[in-house]
Structure formats: C-alpha cells, structure tokens
Amino acid sequence: MRKLLAGLVLLGLFGASVQAEMLGLKNIKVDGSLEVKGVSANNETDFSAADDHRGDTLTRVRLGINMDLNKDVSGRLEFVRNPDATFAAQYGNGATNLDTEQTAVTIQNAYVDMVNFLGLDTVRLGRQYVGHEGDLILFLGPVNDDALSVNALDALAISKKFSKINLFGATGKMYDNNNIPGAGAAGPGDINLSWITAASDELIALDKIKVPLEIGYYQANNTSGTATNDNVTLTVMDLRAGIVAFDDQLTASVEYAMNGGQDNNSGTKINYKGNAMLVKGAFGNKDMGFDVHAQYAMGSGDDTGNDDKSFHSISSDYRYGEILSNDNEFTVANGLPGAGVETPLGLNVVTLGGSYVLPWMGRKFTTMGDYYMVKTDKSAPVLGNKIGNELDLAIAYAHSDDIAVKAGYAMLAPDDLLTGGAGAPDENVSKLWAKLDLKFGSN
C-alpha cells in the first residue's frame, strides 16, 4: 500500500504523461497546502499563578491530485499529513524513519464525480469532505483547531436543481465495525449518517435583496452497542433563513435546529428533545475596509427528566474563541466541547466583533477582534451558569491569494463554572498564536 501511495504521489507531482495516458487518465492537476501553526499558552489547566506553560508548533500538509478518468467522470485523491494522525515527529523531536512518516500520511479524499448521471446534476462517490466550515450541524473536513485535525466521510452525495430549489442528499458511514465477510455478524455494528437539504435564494424575489432559505433533515444511526437492543438514532431538523442586502454589505441570518430520535440504552428508551439557535448579523464595506458583526448561539441543556433535552449535533464546527473552542488542551481539561454548543448543561454564546483593513502597504494587513460572553443554558448547583469571557485580537497579512500569515492574542477570564467557585484560583488564561497558510497548484 505504501508503494502504491508513493507511486500515485509521484505520478501527480511530476506529471508522468506516458504512464497516465496508458491508464487512460487526462488533465492531471495537483493542488495542496502547507499550514504551520505555533502556540504559546499559559494557565490552561489550573487557573492559578503556578507555571503551566504549553508551547506547540504543528504542521499540516495536504496534497491533492485531480484527474479526468473519461469524458463524464473525474476523480480526486488527497493525501494529508497532520499531527493528529500518528506519533510521527513534530518540531523539536527526533527524526523518524520513512516508514513512520509514511504511516502518518492518510488518504482523506478518494472519490469520483459523475456529471448528469441518472439525470442528476452531480454525483460524488467515495471518501470526501462534507458540510461547511463553521457549520452548527455538520462539517467533516480540515478544521482550524490547535491539533489541525482532519476528518472525512465515506459517502454517496448527489445534487439536483428543480426550478428554483437546490436539492442535496448524502448517505455515508462514519464508522464501520465489521469486515466485509462478517457484515451480518452479531455484536457491535456501524454508525451510519444520512441527510437531505433543500435550499434556495430565489423563492422570495425582492429588488436588490436576496433571501436565502434552507431546510435540512439529518439522521445518524449508531448500532455499535454490545447488545442487540442497544442502539442510538439521532435526528436533527434544521431550518435556516437569511437576508443579503445593499450589495452584500448587510447580512443577517437565523438558524433553528431541533433533535429527535432515541437512545435505547440496553432497552431503556431515552428520547432526544434538544434544540439550538444561531442568530448572526453583520455590516461591512469593502471599499472602506471595515466590518462589524454580532452573533448569538444557544444549545439547550438537560435537566433531571427522563428525556435528554440537551442539544446534540451530528459533527458541529461552530467556533467561539481561540481558547474556549479552538484550544484542544483547554477544552479537554475543562469538559467543554471543542466545537459546537452541546454540553449537558447547554451553552449560550454572545459574540461581538469587527475587522478593519489598514489603508497602507497595499491594504494587505487586516486587524480583527472578537469578544465572547459564554455561559451554560442550565445552572449547576452552587456554581451557577457563567463560564467566562474571552477577548481575541489578531492581525492578518495577505501577501497574495495563496500566501497568508495570521497572528493573535487571546485572553480568557474564567468564571465559577470553570474555576470551582468562591475561593478557587481564577487567574486569566492567555494564549499567543501564529499561523502560516500557503496554497499551491490548481486549488
């Protein structure tokens, strides 16, 4: 397998046209990216004056190979090397041999695209990225956390436009427990995911104003329990509406999601009844170089009833701060979600922020800031519901569309739910970070 992988990479990199033509491959193009992130954080684990500094430098490399298999079918392979994959060496550690480095490379895209197959606009089959970055319900792809994580889905995805409505559907497998010969075997099973969305910005016709609308239904089925009656079916009904006006200067949107399904829990049924809401508003002017925005996110929390009233997403990528949600070390240590709004007590996030493009040096520098006020939906005994407030400041330099550098400082003032209440240490958490993004090829 490693020899095959190396051969495919060489084929894409050096354009071995003779071999490609022999295989019937045409229009081979290579794209990819290099991302390097450095982090220096203090006071993440105990909120006291004691030294608990963390420093990391991580890299993620993505190499994609696109090709035409015939006149109606194209394909893509993407190889990813990221620190989340294995124990291969990072900066400052000893060198590893080639076998270890090859093991650190994973295939995150391996799919074919078919156009007008069965009358559909698009058909994509294979391992692929799905959803949208920052989405409240579902995103499986390269994310911007401190581990530079990457995930994908083995799926079939189709799309078709009927009149003014764009339909999209997908079904895939998040986890496969059984080998092919034992597909019907007893015991732990699989986790399957399916969803369908209908979207349009043409149904409501207004002069110089767009009104995007979307409805979606998601279902994840987990049969990986050890007993035949131990299974989980989680559903999410998602409604979205927005407005885009004044030549895209004013945008506003609202999203509401509600859970359904049940956890049989070895025969004892628990119904999912959580809900979530995301409200966004922004106003900006590209010529003047400014943007101001506000957000409110809410995920319901659970009480002591028999039903589960806390909100559950499929795989959320909603982010609310460099420390509170992007910092993997902090979120794991403090029981917060790395992304999304689901906790047993729920989550409420108010965000205020803005950005400004500096009017000198070719307008290549952008300053930005966000302030997050975070608490839970339900209160904990004695401690209340306040998690803390976070301030994020950053400056970005865009050398070109393909090369960008961003650096920032974040500070979190923790409240009682994190510190443990009166008398507990409550020193601020701080974090410095910088990230280089370099793209190449035809992406």
Q: What is d(CA 117, CA 281) in angstroms, rounded to the nearest whole number?
A: 39
- The SS3 assignment for 20 reads helix
* Average pLDDT over every residue of 147-165: 94
The two three-digit tokens of residue 205, written as one number:
């016709």
Q: What is d(CA 365, CA 337) in angstroms, rounded to the nearest whole number?
A: 32
Greater confidence (5 vs 429) lies with 429
Q: What is d(CA 434, CA 414) in angstroms, rounded to the nearest whole number?
A: 23
* Average pLDDT over every residue of 58-76: 92
- Number of compact structural domains in the chain: 1
Per-residue confidence (pLDDT) for residue 340, from 0 to 100:
78
pLDDT digits (tens, 9 = 90+) for 352-374: 999 999 998 899 999 999 999 99
pLDDT digits (tens, 9 = 90+) for 379-395: 777 778 899 999 999 99
Residue 181, pLDDT above cutoff 60: no
The two three-digit tokens of residue 116, written as one number:
């007008």
Q: Taking a C-beta distance cutoff of 8 angstroms, is the pair 354, 293 a contact?
A: yes
Q: Taking a C-beta distance cutoff of 8 angstroms, is the pair 141, 130 a contact?
A: yes
Per-residue confidence (pLDDT) for residue 163, from 0 to 100:
92
Per-residue confidence (pLDDT) for residue 270, from 0 to 100:
86
- What is the bridge-based pairing of β-strands 347-357 and 290-299? antiparallel
Amino acid type, 230 = D
Residue 412: other Cβ atoms inside 10 A: 27
Residue 228, pLDDT above cutoff 80: no
The two three-digit tokens of residue 310, written as one number:
């806390």
Highest mean pLDDT among 174-178, 226-230, 310-314, 340-344: 310-314
* Average pLDDT over every residue of 260-285: 88
* Average pLDDT over every residue of 23-30: 82
The chain-wide mean pLDDT, for the chain, equals 85
Q: What is d(CA 66, CA 257) in angstroms, rounded to the nearest whole number?
A: 36
* Average pLDDT over every residue of 149-175: 93
* Average pLDDT over every residue of 149-161: 95
359, 413, 425: which is closest to 386 by C-alpha?
413
Give the DSSP letter of residue 119. Answer: G
Cα four-point dihedral sign 10, 16, 19, 23:
positive
84-98, 153-167, 281-295: segment of lowest average pLDDT: 84-98
Greater confidence (306 vs 242) lies with 242
- The SS3 assignment for 55 reads strand
Q: What is d(CA 197, CA 218) in angstroms, rounded to the nearest whole number?
A: 9
Confidence grade of residue 419 (pLDDT, cut at 50, 70, 90): confident
Per-residue confidence (pLDDT) for residue 398, from 0 to 100:
96
The two three-digit tokens of residue 317, written as one number:
């990528």
Per-residue confidence (pLDDT) for residue 182, from 0 to 100:
41
The stretches of 59-209 forming alpha helices (DSSP H) are 98-103
- The SS3 assignment for 434 reads strand
Greater confidence (135 vs 58) lies with 135
Confidence grade of residue 78 (pLDDT, cut at 50, 70, 90): very high
Per-residue confidence (pLDDT) for residue 3, from 0 to 100:
42
Residue 85, pLDDT above cutoff 70: no
CATH code, domain carrying 116: 2.40.160.100
Confidence grade of residue 1 (pLDDT, cut at 50, 70, 90): very low
* Average pLDDT over every residue of 268-296: 94
**Would you give the distance in Å from CA 171 to the centre of its chain?**
18
Domain that holds residue 395: 2-441
Q: Taking a C-beta distance cutoff of 8 angstroms, is the pair 104, 137 a contact?
A: no
In the block, tokens 């109606």 appear at: 72
Q: What is the CA radius of gyration of the chain?
A: 24
Torsion on CA atoms 328, 330, 331, 333, rounded to nearest 10: 110
Residue 98, pLDDT above cutoff 70: no
In the block, tokens 């995150």 appear at: 108
In the block, tokens 């030294």 appear at: 51
Q: What is d(CA 9, CA 64) in angstroms, rounded to the nearest whole number?
A: 9
Residue 336, pLDDT above cutoff 60: yes
* Average pLDDT over every residue of 280-286: 96
Per-residue confidence (pLDDT) for residue 186, from 0 to 100:
47
